[in-house]
Amino acid sequence: MGHSEASIPYVSPVWPHLLRTTITRGEGAYIWDDTGRRYLDFTSGIGVTNTGHCHPRVVRAICEQAGRILHLQANTAYHEPMLRLIHALREVVPSELNSFFFSNSGAEAIEATVKLVRHSTGRPNIIAFQRSFHGRTIGTMSLDSSKTIYRAGYQPLMPGVFFSPYAYCYRCPVLEFGKEKRVSCEDCTWPLEQLRFLLKSQTAPEETAAILVEPVIGEGGYIVPPAKFLQGLRQICDEYGFWLVFDEIQSGFGRTGRFFALEHFGVVPDILVMSKAIASGLPLSGIVARKEVMERWKVNSHGGTYGGNAVACAAGEATVRVLQEEKLVENSARLGEKLLAQLNPLKDRFPSIGDVRGLGLMVGVEFVVPGSRTPSREKAKAVQQACLEKGLLLLTCGTDDNVVRWIPPLIISEQHLGEAMGIFIQALEIAAHK
């Protein structure tokens, strides 16, 4: 007999659950609940299981390492799994980034980065962006602006954080107010102008340590900026001596059709933050920085008991090798193009779809009130629920919670994609009549 949510009274109520049953196992792109029902999982644990559920090579690496040593604190001694993971990561991160530090979660890695940029520059302030999400600790909440729910009730938060507009082309105020006509978003200078205004009006350059940005916005709505925006951030950082930090916690490890999203834009940050898919589900995160940045961090000024755990690092190395050798990054790029090609025409058929955007298998479908750009959370949730009832798991995101996000595991086939699209179109038809 399956467990209903009401029959599990000791789980904290702070986590709303998409599924009301208990999951017992997962394999590849599917999960099964304790009633035996199968679901096509296009949530990937919120971008964690890029190699699919229980990939045999990752499971084998975990089991083999668990029989050798479970944990050795990083301050005590080097251990082989961490060194092998670093070697693997050196093959996929920009060559300029060559100094590593490991933690357990994305929020921990962002917290470490805040300490690093402040300590290494001697400057207190950090610039983040509207609609950004970087974590749920007090420090990382202070850098969030995707939804007030993440901040409400926890004030006062960490000071020294300033927000600038992100390059969100679908909701560009220049277009909406008709102030400027341009050929493409690549010609738009408005977000960078706003950033320079921020440096004149709120945080002086000599007090600014870093610019922290998601190269593709995740929780805030799956927003892909023009390359010129990120290139402009690099230029401003070089001009004033800031560190440029890329948060690739959700966009990394093949999600966008490149190993890291930064490869789409021709920009190398000073610090790259990674987590989620790094170890296919085991707790692990890391930052990799230019050596000149990391060397300014005093010895023992930051650390953690479990950071770089041996079993998690073994899973991390196996994950990188699976992504490389099974060409999952290429699969993400190929199927991502097919997904966009199938979703875009639906805008004509279903007027509640305002925008379709994405890179690789990181795709967002934004829902609006037909005939406007007014966000429609109700329509997005109706489509999500109809998909769930037919066995497809999708998540929503965005400040207005009106974006359905596609984050399937990168091991999916065209058959999986066809199954998901069939359900999604049925869900759109159901939602259209509500």
Q: Are residues 321 and 386 in the same domain?
A: no
- Residue 178, pLDDT > 60, answer no
Q: Are residues 188 and 293 in the same domain?
A: yes
- Residue 183, pLDDT > 60, answer no
The pLDDT-based confidence of 303 (bands split at 50, 70, 90) is confident
Write down the pLDDT at residue 9: 61
Exposure string of 106-136, with b = 16+ CB inside 10 Å and e = fewer, is bbbbbbbbbebbbebbebebbbbbbbbbbbe
CATH of the domain at 242: 3.40.640.10
Show the 3-state SS of the chain.
CCCCHHHCCCCCCCCCCCCCCCEEEEEECEEEECCCCEEEECCHHHHCCCCCECCHHHHHHHHHHHCCCCCCCCCCCCCHHHHHHHHHHHCCCCCCCCEEEEECCHHHHHHHHHHHHHHHHCCCEEEEECCCCCCCCHHHHCCCCCCHHHCCCCCCCCCCEEEECCCCHHHCHHHHHCCCCCCCHHHCCHHHHHHHHHHHHCCCHHHEEEEEECCCECCCCCECCCHHHHHHHHHHHHHHCCEEEEECCCCCCCCCCCCCHHHHCCCCCCEEEECHHHHCCCCCEEEEECHHHHCCCCCCCCCCCCCCCHHHHHHHHHHHHHHHHCCHHHHHHHHHHHHHHHHCCHHHHCCCEEEEEEECCEEEEEEECCCCCCECHHHHHHHHHHHHHCCEECEEECCCCCEEEECCCCCCCHHHHHHHHHHHHHHHHHHHCC
Q: Are residues 180 and 156 in the same domain?
A: yes
Q: Over range 246-264, report the average pLDDT.
A: 98
Query: In the structure encoding, which two tokens stand for residue 408, read together?
Result: 């399937």
Q: Are residues 146 and 67 in the same domain?
A: yes
Q: What is the pLDDT of residues 375-394, one digit of tens each?
A: 999 999 999 999 999 999 99
Q: In the listed set 265, 299, 325, which residue is the last one of a domain according to the structure?
A: 325
> Strand 38-41 to strand 271-274: parallel, antiparallel, or no bridges (unpaired)?
unpaired
Provide the sign of the torsion angle of the four alpha carbons 246, 248, 254, 257, taken in this order. negative
Q: Are residues 428 and 301 in the same domain?
A: no
Write down the pLDDT at residue 78: 86
Backbone angles phi, psi at 297, to 5 degrees: -80, 125
Q: What is the pLDDT of residues 24-73, one digit of tens each?
A: 999 999 999 999 999 999 999 999 999 999 999 999 999 999 999 999 88
- Residue 185, pLDDT > 90, answer no
**pLDDT > 90: percent of the chain:** 85
The pLDDT-based confidence of 153 (bands split at 50, 70, 90) is very high
- The CA distance from 375 to 329, in Å, is 32
Q: What is the pLDDT of residues 270-300, one digit of tens each?
A: 999 999 999 999 999 999 999 989 988 876 6
Q: Are residues 269 and 358 in the same domain?
A: no
Query: In the structure encoding, which two tokens stand for residue 280, read together?
Result: 């296919």
- Residue 177, pLDDT > 60, answer no
Q: What is the pLDDT of residues 313-352, one digit of tens each?
A: 999 999 999 999 999 999 999 999 999 999 999 999 999 9
- The CA distance from 168 to 322, in Å, is 33
Q: Are residues 300 and 339 in the same domain?
A: no
Write down the pLDDT at residue 321: 98
Q: In the listed set 285, 304, 325, which residue is the last one of a domain according to the structure?
A: 325
- Residue 180, pLDDT > 60, answer no
Q: Are residues 36 and 99 in the same domain?
A: no
Write down the pLDDT at residue 173: 84
Q: Are residues 148 and 273 in the same domain?
A: yes
- Residue 405, pLDDT > 70, answer yes
Q: In the listed set 325, 357, 374, which residue is the last one of a domain according to the structure?
A: 325
The number of domains in the chain is 2
Q: Are residues 311 and 348 in the same domain?
A: no
Q: Over range 224-250, report the average pLDDT.
A: 97
Higher pLDDT, 256 or 178: 256
Higher pLDDT, 160 or 11: 160
For residue 247, the enclosing domain spans 58-325
110, amino acid identity? I
Q: Over range 155-172, report the average pLDDT.
A: 95
CATH of the domain at 422: 3.90.1150.10
- Residue 230, pLDDT > 90, answer yes
Write down the pLDDT at residue 176: 61
Q: Are residues 315 and 383 in the same domain?
A: no
